[in-house]
Amino acid sequence: MKKLPIAMAGLIFLCACLAGCGRDEKGGAPQAQESAKAKSAAMTKEAAQTAQTYKNMDNPALLQKLAEQSKAKREPFNSLAYRELQGRTDVNADALAALVNETKNADALLPLLLLRKLSEGSYLNIPSAERAAVLTDALRNAKTFNAWGLPHLYLEDASKAMLETGESAGPALRRMLSDCRPAPVFGGQEVIESKRYQYRLCDYALFFLERLQGHGDFRMPMAPADRDALIAQLLK
- d(CA 110, CA 147) in angstroms, rounded, equals 10
pLDDT of amino acid 17: 45
Nearest to 177 by CA among 118, 121, 236, 133: 236
Q: What pairs with residue 235 in β-bridges?
A: none
pLDDT digits (tens, 9 = 90+) for 116-159: 999 999 999 999 999 999 999 999 999 999 999 999 999 999 99
With CA atoms as reference, report the closest residue to 118 among 143, 95, 148, 150.
Answer: 95
Q: How many Å apart are CA 205 and CA 35, to the nearest integer?
A: 46
Domain map (residue ranges) of the chain: 58-126, 128-236
Do the beta carbons of residue 125 and residue 112 sit within 8 Å? no
How far is CA 73 from its chain centroid? 8
How high is the pLDDT of residue 4? 42
Q: What is the pLDDT of residue 29?
A: 63
- Gap between the Cα atoms of 32 and 212, Å rounded: 53
SS3 (DSSP) at 84: helix
Cα-flanking dihedrals φ and ψ of residue 154, to 5°?
-160, 155
Q: Please give the pLDDT value at position 34.
A: 81
The predicted model scores a pTM of 0.82
In the chain (236 residues long), the average pLDDT of successive 10-residue segments reads 46 44 51 77 77 94 98 97 97 98 96 98 97 98 98 98 97 98 96 97 98 95 98 96
The CA-CA-CA angle for residues 19, 22, 25, to 5°, reads 135
